[in-house]
Amino acid sequence: MWLREKTLTEFIIEEQRKAPGATGGFTALLNDIRLACKRIAYLVGKGALTDALGRAGSDNVQGEAQMKLDVLANDIFLRTNEWGGHLAAMVSEELEQPYLIPAQYPRGRYLLVFDPLDGSSNIDVNVSVGSIFSVLRCADGVVEPTAADFLQPGVQQVCAGYAIYGPTTMLVLTLGRGVHGFTLDREIGEFVLTHPGLRVPEDTSEFAINASNSRFWEPAVKRYVDECLAGKAGPRGKDFNMRWVASLVAEAHRILLRGGVFMYPRDSRDPASPGRLRLLYEANPIGLVIEQAGGRASSGLAPILEIKPDSLHQRIGFMFGSRHEVERLERYHRDFNQREYDAPLFGSRGLFRAPA
Ligand code: MN
Ligand code: MN
């Protein structure tokens, strides 16, 4: 029997009809973003069958080695989104400055921010990677946007989402009214609504953190992880599991579907760098998706979406996931960051601390 399914196009047009005065420009922009993700899904899915794997031999603006697919995915995002007339400019992880829409195309009212390929260090080992995107409004009257026009807190995002290129390719989207997941049907070439109204479970016993950095963590994070590791016998009274994919999109997707808490906290390794992940095109879009699904996203010190960015590639401590766990982490930050954590529950030292 043929099952009538709702495509992403149909979903977006229905949403457009709910917004009085909508002109369809935003719908067309989302269609272009969708196409960019399909083009990247195709390339990623080919793996070693094309010449697209491996290092590009160059560094990006942040001094990270670029993979060939970083460069290709960035180019796909720019080329697929520049011509439609809906954007004034774009900002990418791979570009130092905003990319202004070339003069031969009309300029529109929106700004697009993206990480074209997230988790790309995983690409050669066939682990899930993704693309992250966020749409902002361009202020009225601005035709030549500068970096300053992009420095808007995450609450101002018009829409945000990601594509995950895993065993299946999915596109996860929020337009500010819940979070919806679409699975790419490769035969018909359409994203199909398979996961409407996603909700992050409020409680969890799964956490994700790169424990090799534990000696640099702040007291609040040390305490939180110590208590998780102590399991049933500890103050939490239950056992926890740990996960670490090292691909933000894959971590966010797992947490969106079954709960959990992710931490890449600010640490003391490099006092000049207050975290690892980028606010504009990683933390903000993932933060909006998670919060729209009933979870919470925080720097530990403040809600992510309320932080006013101070530069395009600003890094930030980022934790998100099941609401009650992130609230606990925020509480520990308030309680513990003023003083040294002495792990009173475990005698004289935390589980991750070196013996005195
Ligand atoms: Mn990334
Ligand atoms: Mn990237």
Give the DSSP H/E element, type plus range, for residue 51: none
Pair 190, 231 in one domain: no
pLDDT at 85 over 60: yes
Domain holding 105, by residue range, is: 8-195
Q: How far is the CA of 128 from the centre of ligand 2 (A)?
A: 13
Q: What is the pTM of this model?
A: 0.93
Q: How far is the CA of 165 from the centre of ligand 2 (A)?
A: 13
Contact 309, 279 (CB under 8 A): yes
Q: Tell me, yes or no, whether 162 and 226 share the same domain.
A: no
Quickly state the pLDDT bin for 72 (edges 50, 70, 90).
very high
Q: Which of 153, 168, 195 is the last residue of a domain?
A: 195
Best CA proximity match to 161, nearest among 120, 202, 195: 195
The rounded distance, in Å, linking the Cα atoms of 309 and 148 is 9
* CA 130–ligand 1 middle distance (angstroms): 8
114-121 mean pLDDT? 94
Judge if 177 and 224 occupy the same domain: no
CATH value at residue 241: 3.40.190.80
Expressed in angstroms and rounded, the spacing between residue 115 Cα and the centre of ligand 1 is 6
Nearest-ligand number for the alpha carbon of 282: 1
* Residue 20 pLDDT greater than 60, yes or no: yes
Tell whether 351 is covered by a domain.
no
Beta bridge partners of 83: none
Spatial neighbors of 186 by CB under 8 A, at least 6 apart, are 169
Residues 159 and 52 in one domain: yes
| Residue 84 belongs to domain with CATH number | 3.30.540.10
| Ligand closest in space to the Cα of 94 | 2
Number of domains in the chain: 2
- Listed residues: CB within 5 A of ion ligand 2: 93, 115, 117-118
Same domain, yes or no: 190 and 212 = no
Cα of 335 from ligand 1 centre, angstroms = 31
Q: Identify whether residues 181 and 75 lie together within a single domain.
A: yes
Asked if residue 52 has pLDDT above 60, the reply is yes
Ligand nearest to the CA of 162: 1
Question: Which of 163, 195, 227 is at the close of a domain?
Answer: 195
Distance from Cα 88 to the centre of ligand 2, integer Å: 22
Q: Would you say residue 2 lies in a domain?
A: no
| Nearest ligand atom owner, CA of 264 | 1
The residues whose Cβ lies within 5 A of ligand 1, an ion, are 115, 118
Residue 1 falls within a domain, yes or no? Answer: no
Alpha helices by DSSP H, the chain: 8-18, 25-46, 68-82, 147-150, 219-230, 248-258, 284-292, 323-336
**23-to-18, 109, 175 alpha-carbon distances in Å:** 12, 12, 16
The pLDDT, as a whole number, for residue 337 is: 67
Ligand nearest to the CA of residue 250, numbered in listed order: 1
Mean pLDDT score of the chain: 92
For ligand 2, the distance from its centroid to the CA atom of residue 89, given in whole angstroms, is 19
326 shares its domain with 243: yes
Cβ-based burial of 147 (10 A; exposed 0-12, middle 13-18, buried ≥19): middle
Q: What is the mean pLDDT of residues 303-316?
A: 97
* Mean pLDDT to the nearest integer, 68-87: 96
Indicate if 185 and 214 belong to the same structural domain: no
At 351 the pLDDT is: 52
- Please tell me the distance between residue 112's alpha carbon and the centre of ligand 1 in angstroms: 16
Average pLDDT over residues 325-352: 70
**pLDDT above 60 (res 61):** yes
Q: Of the candidates 148, 171, 195, which is a domain's last residue? A: 195
Is the pLDDT at 146 greater than 70? The verdict is: yes
129 Cα to the center of ligand 1, angstroms: 9
Structure tokens at 151: 């420095």
Sequence-separated (6 or more) residues with CB below 8 Å from residue 59: 65, 66
